[in-house]
Amino acid sequence: MTRRAEETELAETVDLRAWPGRPRRSGRGEALGLSGAPAVSGPIHVLNGPNLNRLGKREPEIYGRTTLAEVEAMCHEAAGDTPVVFRQTNWEGQLVDWIHEATDSDAAGIVINPAGLTFTSIPVLDALKMFGRPIIELHISNIHKREAIYHRSLVSTVATAVIAGLGARGYVTAIRSLRDLLE
């Protein structure tokens, strides 16, 4: 198989609009398996875990030089008229509380970079299980090209999609993809 054929096959396999139970084109409520439900029109919650407040300073050869403030601006720009709730914490319990808040609100979806909690946090996993709307797991680096400890994500088991290795621009891809899922 040629490289081009492999890329085409991969692009067809990773169609974010075709996640399980989602019709190709429908209203937001129907897309989420909520027949007859009103469209989900709330904000996108972008939740960031430990050490992401150090972006731009911490291991720039892995994470780049873009700061978290710059990432936040990129997210707001990519979201257009969709509101964004952008947060970062170094505390597992705070991240869980924010997931609960999104669950209990009209949040359209979650983009989550749980950082080191990706691989260890059952409480984050359990909180995400309750969300019931699209979740995009995001990693700035390609976790699969790193040490073995970074290869098994607990969050991936409940995520609608996973984006890894695109650097800070991955946030833009995640926001746009989430908006596409909700159209």
Establish whether 45 is a catalytic residue. Answer: no
- In angstroms, the CA 135 to CA 139 distance is 13
- In angstroms, the CA 26 to CA 182 distance is 9
Residue 150, pLDDT score: 74
Domains of the chain: 39-182 (3.40.50.9100)
Which residues have CB under 8 Å from 158's CB, separation 6+? Answer: 125, 128, 129, 131, 135
Q: Which two tokens mark 159?
A: 């995520």
Spot the catalytic one: 63, 76, 100, 150.
63
- In angstroms, the CA 45 to CA 114 distance is 13
Residue 91, pLDDT score: 98
Residue 64, pLDDT score: 86
Establish whether 171 is a catalytic residue. Answer: no
Residue 61, pLDDT score: 86
Spot the catalytic one: 45, 100, 139, 171.
139
The pTM assigned to this predicted structure is 0.78
Residue 8, pLDDT score: 41
Q: In tens digits, what is the pLDDT along the chain, a chain of 183 residues?
A: 544 444 444 333 344 433 343 333 334 444 444 433 334 479 999 999 999 999 999 888 888 899 999 999 999 999 999 999 999 999 999 999 999 999 999 999 999 999 999 998 999 999 999 999 999 999 998 888 777 777 788 999 999 999 999 999 999 999 999 999 998
The residue whose two tokens read 């984006």 is: 163
